[in-house]
Amino acid sequence: MRVLVTGAAGYVGYAVGRRLVAAGHAVDGLVRDAGQDLPPGVRPLVGDLLDPPALRAVLTEPYDAVCHLAALTRVRESFEEPLRFFAVNVQGTVNLLDLLAPGTRVVYGSTAAVYGTPEWQPIHEDQTPAPTSPYGASKLAAEQVVRWHARTGAIGAVVLRTFNVAGAVDGRGDPDPTRLIPRALAAAAGEVPHLEINGAGDAVREYVHVDDLADAHVRALAAARPGEDRVYNVGSGAPVSVRDVVAAVEKVTGRRVPTVRRPPRPEPPLLISDATAVRHDLGWRPRRSELSRMIADAWAARTRAAG
């Protein structure tokens, strides 16, 4: 298929483009600035989802499929700039959908943040979303835009709600220094004096390797059908506490991670996915999502970049 990847130079977008090329698709990568690093075989297109006339001038030929990954993603920033998050994540999605040819397959990269603090664990797709941040609310609104548009018959849509992403491909790790694993690795490398931990470090989350997530996107594209919309959780389902991450980073790197405890923050003690549906329907399996493997890949990418 001829596939467009939005946010193609991002952490997940790069991995998805790489997987699509390997699967034999012709891939264009939409980026906001020229010269950004893209996987071999991905053709760059420069455009802004918030500038429809310029976007229309760039997207001159129809696509068979789109992986929509361009978004603002930092939860804390969303509280400071909610209007910006809704503009980029929701209006940008509307602008993109408005330009797609009938029958286009769309995979929308969403987030577990749409669930907020769910009533039971593990989290199933049937649970009622209740986001607790502007970021989560904006992603849920964009999901609804995609799904309602699919129900007109204009497109086929698959929404992938991703839990925490880690690991690296082609020497590219997670560039977001606010996330736990990059912060822990920075502390192990001596780039920051310590890792701050809220409370006792008992909060439990899960992680999926960025390459496993990319594989889910490729499978979702194949499954999308015009007039249909599906939603899948994408996660390993393996519980990992903050303390587990620190211990794994120390073991993989052979270095100590200095930590400083801060007062506990109001946050869910446990967020774990039920990814049964994506395994059953798409045949997806998290093959690289063991914690030490993800940390080793991320550490190797960091070491490579530093050297």
- CB–CB of 90/75 below 8 Å? no
Tokens representing 161 are: 């709600």
Comparing C-alpha atoms, which of 25, 26, 27 is closest to residue 13?
27
Residue 232 is a catalytic residue = no
- Give the gyration radius of the chain's Cα atoms: 19
Helix H or strand E encompassing 111: strand 104-111
Catalytic residue from among 11, 108, 115, 135: 135
- CB–CB of 31/14 below 8 Å? no
CB 18: neighbour CB atoms within 10 A? 24
- CB–CB of 165/11 below 8 Å? yes
Query: Strands 164-166 and 207-209: what pairing?
Result: parallel
Distance, in Å, from the CA atom of 28 to the CA atom of 2, rounded to the nearest integer, reads: 8
Active site residues: 135
